[in-house]
């Protein structure tokens, strides 16, 4: 098998199936599920915290070029984005722009 074929096989086995299985289970288990039931509230809390964990992971263990930006700049950018969101009419756009601006400015000032 060629390396190209192998990379597609890995994509399906290691990427697609482990991710997609939760969508299928959502259909099966979701049948007649009460959205306000206690177990659903708990699972929602776990899922939300897991997503926050992904954010923390990318900020603390960054991929590729992001690793060249100092950790303090990455943290400051995240905080600036959130503060901009809070104070500028809860605008996600303002938050993203502020976070990115701080990241780029910080990378240029303190980067390698």
Partner 1 sequence: MPQQPAESPPHVSFQVFLDGIVAAVRSVFFYVLVGNYVGMGALAHEVGFSFGWMALCTLLIWAAPAQVILISTLNTAALFEVALAVTLSSLRFLPMVAAILPVMRRPGVRQRDLLLPMHVTAISVWVEGMRLLPLMPAERRVAFYNGLGVGLMSGAIIGGGVGYVLAARLPPVLAAALLFFTPMAILMSSARNSRTLLDGLSFALGLVVGPIVAAQKIGLDLMWTGLIAGTMAYAVHRIREALRGRKT
Least distance (Å) between residue 72 CB and partner 1: 14
Spatial distance between the Cα atoms of 26 and 7, rounded to a whole number of angstroms: 28
Least distance (Å) between residue 1 CB and partner 1: 15
Tell me the per-residue interface mask from 2 to 41 with partner 1, x by CB under 8 A, - otherwise: --x--xx-xxxxxxx-xxxxxxxxxx-xxx-x-x----xx
Q: Is residue 110 involved in binding partner 1 (CB under 8 A)?
A: no
Interacting positions 36-75 with partner 1 (CB under 8 A): 40-66, 68-69, 74
The structure tokens 């390698």 sit at: 112
CB 43 within 8 A of CB 51: no
Spatial distance between the Cα atoms of 25 and 31, rounded to a whole number of angstroms: 10
């Amino acid at each position: 098998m060629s390396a190209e074929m192998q990379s597609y096989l890995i994509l399906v086995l290691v990427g697609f199936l482990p991710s997609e299985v939760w969508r299928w289970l959502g259909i099966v288990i979701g049948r007649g599920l009460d959205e306000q039931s206690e177990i659903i509230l708990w699972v929602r809390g776990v899922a939300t915290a897991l997503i926050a964990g992904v954010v923390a992971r990318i900020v603390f263990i960054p991929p590729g070029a992001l690793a060249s930006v100092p950790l303090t700049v990455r943290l400051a950018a995240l905080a600036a984005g959130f503060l901009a969101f809070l104070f500028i009419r809860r605008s996600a756009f303002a938050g993203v722009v502020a976070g990115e601006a701080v990241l780029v400015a910080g990378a240029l000032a303190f980067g390698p």
